[in-house]
Structure 1
Amino acid sequence: SAVIAVFAATAVVLAAGITGFLLLGGEDGEPEAGPTGAGSVSPSPGEPRAGAEDGAEPLVPGWRTVTNVKRGIAFDVPATWALKPSGWVSYVAENGDPEETPLVGFAAPAVLKEKWCRSDDDGNGIQEDTPLAAAGSRSEPEARDTAEAARENARLWVYGSYAQPSEDKVSTGAAKPFTTKSGLSGSVATATSTGVDGAGRCAYDGKATAFAFQNPAGETFSWTFVGVRGVDDEVPEQTVRKILGTVRLVDAKP
């Protein structure tokens, strides 16, 4: 199954199917350190939770605000989602890639049911965790436009998380104009996988929604939701769109 790797700026990240990294540099899913040892982790006392830095109030009553302070991006999620530290990055890589080169990633994410499915598909005695869903944001310095950034993010997250190695099982829709509640305009695109038939216990189809936009300085950024599809507790599309509608710009703090 695809490996979702995560790392934090000040903590060694745990294990079961998740590769740990210490962030020594890099940007939004571009690690510059090798794998670390496994061990239980929580953020260090000096590492704030995503959303805790600027006191941003949620646009949806009862929800929680997630803030990527480095990029100046915020969005809201239901209270049941877990907010990761602001230095945390999640990414997907090609199966079997010894370098773990990210296909796509995002920073300061929120995660729903991080241990939604557990399996030991390779029989090495280590249980691997598959989350039900996650969402985060990143910069897009290489994107030609917001439409390209939205489609590529959605496609790569679904391929990397669920469909590997079958690219033909991923369908990506056309990018469409979208404006959030705050008036932030850009392009939104969705991707889904169909017919994933991996042998692993946690082999499921997936879906992703990506929104790409520019800040007043003309820099392109993206927000992406990725989650399991076709299961009883799948995140409803209505909820995905409600989260998407809260994406907004806030003051960045490099």
Structure 2
Amino acid sequence: MWPGQQPANGGEHNPQQQPNPYQQPNPYQQPGYQAPGYQTPGYGQPHPSPQPGGAQWTPPAAPGGPQPPGGGGRGRRTTVIAVSTALAVVAAAVVTGVLVLRDDGEKTTAHDDPKPPASASASAPSTAGPTGSSSPEVNPRGGGQEVKPVIAGWKPVVNLKRHDVFDVPPDWKVSGPSMQYSISDESAKDDKRYLLPKPAVVMTGPADYKAGVCEANNAMGAAGTKGAQGAKSLGSAAEIEALNWVWAAFDQKKTGQFKRSDAKEFRSDHGLTGQMATATVTGVKKTGKCTTDGKAVAFTYKDTNGDLATWILFSVKGTDDEIPEDTIKKIMSSLRPLETDS
């Protein structure tokens, strides 16, 4: 059931992983921190706040680098990478980040103090088309068997690494099951140590919504799954990740008001159970046509291997392109374990 259920999340390991405002330091582990009051329609009860209308939480500045300068209103910058024998790179954009799609076989952990990488292996052009592998849009395969949607007319989105499946509406674009999606860290865009844009957040097996509406290759929202091994709990993983994604996707300069819900139990209609949390950023300083408020939902669960994983969905907020709450609920209702041939 939806009310009272919240997805918890965790961090997909990325070779380029670096600190972000919600992980270094981790505000939810600091003594005296109280979550602000917040409620998104359909996401359950808000957390009580000592101030009417919900307390405002200002995210701490990310250590180790200055805040990114104004970018003339460009949206989140994204890059797509498919890994086979070589890297294929694609740049895209929405709010403030980089989309990276690629295979990643390394162990995934969620740490409060991730270490920045030494280098990356390919550079990303400003715009490019995907090469190397195609993105299965219909009936992708999991473990050699065909995966069909549980919602008639929708598309299944398969994650081979995190062992989950969910369905999205037919107008969404589904990437490959082993592809990786990340949003770039704008504070590191001039850091010459990184040949690829340094990611702030990462997920795998993604699908995106309304790409190109604002700028070429931008998306108004996306969903996917990431690892959460090392998280202290399902709930804390979901709470942290929900904030991570609204910060990374919509307001890395921290000009708006960040709010999140407490994590609560969530059970999909198809057997996935865990903890779910939501977050929003509103009042983001408008610097261009693509600047917008945002929202995110995060759901943390144990996969079929017993490992923690977090499913993420983020969306623009307060525009005609916002993903409706009813659609988000329906997508989440379809979350299910990936059944593979033994």
Please classify the TM superposition score into its range, dividing by the shorter chain length.
Answer: 0.7 to 0.9
What does the per-residue CA deviation read over 1:116-151, in whole Å, with 9 as the maximum and x for residues that have no partner? Answer: 211xxxxxxxxx543111101111113111111111
What does the per-residue CA deviation read over 1:137-168, in whole Å, with 9 as the maximum and x for residues that have no partner? Answer: 11111311111111122111100110111176
Q: What's the offset of the Cα at 1:230?
A: 0.3
CA distance in 1, matches of 2:262, 2:294: 18
The answer as to 2:232 corresponding to 1:104 is: no
Q: What's the offset of the Cα at 1:48?
A: 5.2
Match of 1:13 in 2: 89
- The count of residues paired between Structure 1 and Structure 2 equals 243
> Deviation above 4 Å: which 4+ runs of structure 1?
16-28
What does the per-residue CA deviation read over 1:194-235, in whole Å, with 9 as the maximum and x for residues that have no partner? Answer: 100131220000110111101244310011111100012311
Q: Cα–Cα, structure 1 residues 72 and 217, in superposed 2: closer, same or farther, change >3 Å?
A: closer
Output aligned runs, 1:103-252, within 5 Å.
103-118=200-215, 129-166=217-254, 169-251=257-339
Match of 1:66 in 2: 157
Maintained 8 Å contact 1:170/1:191? yes
Structure 2: state its 5+ residue gaps: 1-74, 109-116
SS of 1:243 mapped into structure 2: helix
Greater fraction strand: 1
What does the per-residue CA deviation read over 1:87-135, in whole Å, with 9 as the maximum and x for residues that have no partner? Answer: 32111232131344332211111111111211xxxxxxxxx54311110
Instruction: Name the Cα RMSD after superposition.
Output: 2.8
Match of 1:87 in 2: 178
Amino acid paired to 1:112: Y
Q: What's the offset of the Cα at 1:9?
A: 1.9
Amino acid paired to 1:56: V
Amino acid paired to 1:153: E
Maintained 8 Å contact 1:71/1:252? no
Maintained 8 Å contact 1:24/1:32? no
Q: Give TM-score, length-normalised by structure 1.
A: 0.84
Q: What's the offset of the Cα at 1:36?
A: 3.8
Larger-gyration structure (1/2): 2
Structure 1: state its 5+ residue gaps: 119-127
Q: Cα–Cα, structure 1 residues 164 and 218, in superposed 2: closer, same or farther, change >3 Å?
A: same
Q: Which has the higher contact order (CA 8 A, sep 6+)?
A: 2
Match of 2:77 in 1: 3
Maintained 8 Å contact 1:12/1:37? no
Q: What's the offset of the Cα at 1:22?
A: 8.1
Q: Give TM-score, length-normalised by structure 2.
A: 0.64
CA distance in 1, matches of 2:78, 2:239: 20
CA distance in 2, matches of 1:217, 1:229: 35
Q: Cα–Cα, structure 1 residues 116 and 66, in superposed 2: closer, same or farther, change >3 Å?
A: same
Q: What's the offset of the Cα at 1:49?
A: 2.1
CA distance in 2, matches of 1:217, 1:69: 12
CA distance in 2, matches of 1:195, 1:68: 34
